[in-house]
Amino acid sequence: MTRTLASAQPFAFSFNPATTALIIIDMQRDFLEPGGFGAALGNDVTPLRAIIPTVAQLLHAARAAGLVIIHTRECHRPDMSDCPASKRLRGDPSLRIGDEGPMGRILIADSQGAALIPELMALPGEIVLDKPGKGAFYATSLTDILTDRGIRQIIFAGVTTEVCVQTTMREANDRGYDCLLIEDATESYFPAFKAATLEMIRAQGAIVGWTASCAQLLEVLDA
């Protein structure tokens, strides 16, 4: 049954739970905990950790509504054959991708740091998709996953708003999916970047997608 989120911006967002997926982007220890890659870049992880309760509330509601649940993790093979030098050598972090950190090798698959945070662990049957890039469609099976399940609309949460979340939303938009970003279930290390991304997404008649708060969405999901 189609449901309409009238309070979405820039105008109402309609979706059918049976054809909708929730994609939670990169809620990993390396990005949200001290000692991880986010902190190694010189960032304060506190703003990202602040959204954990909201993302958990969204995840619980999506499970209850029967949405397809997909968790993504940005990480690389142990031999780093899928991590180009243009990515690994950029900037001057205290730890680079592949280096040994407090939670194992930074952003390497199966390391402790690459794991989802304990508060948002996937349940059996939920999809955990490892991605080597910022966008979740690049070098992954996401297109097949969505197609096989008849997905037409995607709800997004996760980090960071202006990098992996926005990149994946733009990729999804180009592939014909209607996309909704939950404003208080996404975050950036830089508040101004998040604010600008929200404006860009919903500009010019939802050129990339729609935005709404978690409470607004849950009111419709629970109806």
In the residue annotation, 130 being an active-site residue is answered as no
pTM over 0.85: yes
Handedness of CA 130, 110, 133, 169 (dihedral sign): positive
Handedness of CA 12, 17, 21, 26 (dihedral sign): positive
Which of 83, 130, 131, 214 is the catalytic position?
Answer: 131
Handedness of CA 126, 131, 135, 140 (dihedral sign): negative
In the residue annotation, 214 being an active-site residue is answered as no
pLDDT at 33: 98
In the residue annotation, 164 being an active-site residue is answered as yes
pLDDT at 222: 86
Say if CB 35 and CB 103 are below 8 A apart.
Answer: yes
pLDDT at 223: 78
Q: Which segments of the chain have a pLDDT < 70? A: none
The rounded radius of gyration (Å) of the Cα atoms in the chain is 17
Which of 164, 178, 179, 184 is the catalytic position?
Answer: 164
SS3 28: strand
